[in-house]
Amino acid sequence: MDARRLTRLALLTAAALSLFIVELQLPDLFPIPGAKLGLANIVTVYALYRCRAGEAAMVLAARILLGGLLGGRGIAIVYSAAGGTACFAGMLLLKRAIPERHLWLASVFGAALHNLGQMAVASIIAGTAVLAYLPFLLLAGCAAGAFTGLCAQLVIRKGRFWKL
């Protein structure tokens, strides 16, 4: 891996972490267990479409690990790892079916998969009663996924202009 690519990955990881930290400061939008805007996913979605799969995976893994450490909510790391993995694997496949200009749509499915992964872990940890919140989580996730996807699309369009 040359220095240029490495720098870009480091930059993406830093951006993802910053977004993650910013979101920790925001008040919760929905009183639903596990619901989050997922601002850091803007970077994940961007990396998935603009970098190699392995590189995008590295950025995601680094963000989850470092974010978990910085966020200081021990168990949260398990949820985001499960959700992140499901989301990443799904979007890697979707990338072939959904072109970049419909990226937001891929992001919606990514968010839904993220919720499914999260809920799978939550039902194991806290009992199956939490599954009742899956539909609420999916609604919030679809909206959040569309938003982060549109942000990523915007970044890609601006990035082209700035020759990133």
Using CB under 8 A, list all residues that contact other proteins.
Answer: 28, 31-34, 73, 75, 79, 94, 97-99, 102, 105-106, 108-109, 112, 122, 125-130, 132-133, 135-136, 138-139, 142
* Nearer to other proteins (CB atom), residue 54 or residue 74: 74
Q: Residue 73 CB, nearest distance to other proteins (Å)? A: 5
| Alpha-carbon dihedral angle through residues 133, 98, 148, 67, given to the nearest 10 degrees | 80
What's the rounded Cα separation, in Å, for the pair 66 and 54?
Answer: 18
What is the smallest separation between the CB atom of 157 and other proteins, expressed in angstroms?
Answer: 18
Check if the beta carbon of residue 9 is closer than 8 Å to that of residue 58.
yes
Closer CB to other proteins, 3 or 129, in the complex = 129
Q: Which residues of 116-145 are buried (b: 16+ CB within 10 A; e: fewer)?
A: bbbbbbbeeeeeeebeebbebbbebbbebb
Specify the residue, 20 or 79, whose C-beta has the smaller distance to other proteins. 79
How near is the Cβ of 20 to other proteins at its closest, in Å? Answer: 15
Q: Which residue's CB is nearer to other proteins, number 8 or number 136?
A: 136
Nearest residue (CB) to other proteins, 10 versus 99? 99
> Which position has the token pair 């700035």?
162
Cα–Cα distance for residue pair 136/116, rounded to 1 Å? 12
Q: What does the block give as tokens for 139?
A: 């609604």
CB of 99 to other proteins, least distance (A): 6
Nearest-approach distance from CB 74 to other proteins, in angstroms: 9
